[in-house]
Amino acid sequence: MEGGRYSAAAFGLDLTRRGLQGELKAKGLSWERAKAFDGAALFSAFAPLEGPVTDLSLRLTVDGEERQAGSVGLMMYKPAFILEELSRVFSLEDGDIIMTGTPAGVGPIEAGATFEGTVFAGDAPLASGRWTAEP
């Protein structure tokens, strides 16, 4: 964040323990434990944004097969709206990370699977990361 605008982008994996989430939901309990655990959010290196965030897209492959792809144009709530709404509730500061949602294609994680995620600015790769799921 810089002066009320996005200043950098990275590829982020937001992981969920789906089984635990389902169990907690079924009991009417809060399910933050399914989202808040060591290693629940993984990020590539952050790259400075030179152009508008409206030009960003992403691609995720798992073991070389495309699992997710999307662009800002497909987002229900655009980045400017998200930033405006968050600013109403939180004091945003440099270094804060805003994760904005998930394209279709979420699925279970298999031990040993290799994830490769890339954020694109137009057609040019901006930031990318590679992770292997631990057994």
Q: Domain range holding 113? A: 8-132
Distance CA 16, CA 34 (A): 6
Residue 22 lies in a domain: yes
pLDDT, tens digit, 9 for 90 and up, residues 6-56: 999 999 988 888 888 889 989 998 888 888 888 888 999 999 998 888 899
User: Following DSSP, what letter does each residue of 33-44 receive, concatenated?
Assistant: GGT-STTSEEE-
Residues facing 74 on adjacent strands: none
- Nearest-angstrom CA–CA distance, 7 and 28: 39
Residue 3 lies in a domain: no
Indicate the SS3 state at residue 57. strand
> At 10, phi and psi to the nearest 5?
-145, 165
**Cα(82)–Cα(91) distance, integer angstroms:** 14
Query: pTM for this one?
Result: 0.84
- The secondary structure of residue 90, as a DSSP letter, is S
The domain spanning residue 64 has which CATH number? 3.90.850.10
For the chain, how big is the Rg over CA atoms in Å?
16
**99-130 confidence digits (pLDDT tens):** 987 788 777 778 888 999 999 999 999 999 99
Residue 26 lies in a domain: yes
How many folded domains does the chain comprise?
A: 1
How open is the CA angle 117-130-7, to the nearest 5 degrees? 55
